[in-house]
Amino acid sequence: MEVLEILYAFFKAFLVGGLICAVAQVVINFTDLTAGKILVIFMLSGIVLTAFGIYQPLVEWAGAGATVPISGFGYLLASGAMKGAQEGLFQALTGSLSAASAGVSAAVVFSFLASLIFRSHTKHN
């Protein structure tokens, strides 16, 4: 892979990921929504955009710029459920769990390892 191709892939990822983050920042600045509600809205937007076939082309074009934000997690859950639905009803229910299991497992393992290395303490202002 040429250097220019790599730089173009980085550009696309940062462009899309940056736009998603910019939209989130605008929502944070101009609404009274809590962080939890914003996370749910963005995850559901990834699910809805996947259901309408809009998010998949974005993932193919932008790569990690579309899969790393929380909307990419919604995409992962929806695409896993849709693939599972091709095999049957039970697989439709478990498809999203199997699609996300590697990422969730890695988060749990690395969080545990970080808890062994670092000690939590109360922040004093």
Residues 12-22 have pLDDT tens digits of 999 999 999 99
Model-wide pTM > 0.85: no
d(CA 57, CA 60): 5
User: What's residue 125's pLDDT?
Assistant: 65
Total number of domains constituting the chain:
1
Residue 66 forms part of a structural domain: yes
Structural domain contains residue 98: yes
**Residue 122, in any domain of the structure:** no
CA–CA gap between residue 78 and residue 61 (Å, rounded): 18
What is the residue range of 57's domain?
3-117
How buried is residue 111: exposed, middle or buried, by Cβ count under 10 Å (0-12/13-18/19+)?
A: exposed
Per-residue confidence (pLDDT) for residue 99, from 0 to 100: 86
Residue 65 belongs to a domain: yes
Residue 124 lies in a domain: no
Q: Is residue 123 part of a domain?
A: no
- How high is the mean pLDDT of the chain? 91
pLDDT in tens, 82-119: 999 898 888 888 888 888 888 889 999 999 999 999 98
Q: Which whole number is the average pLDDT over 49-75?
A: 93
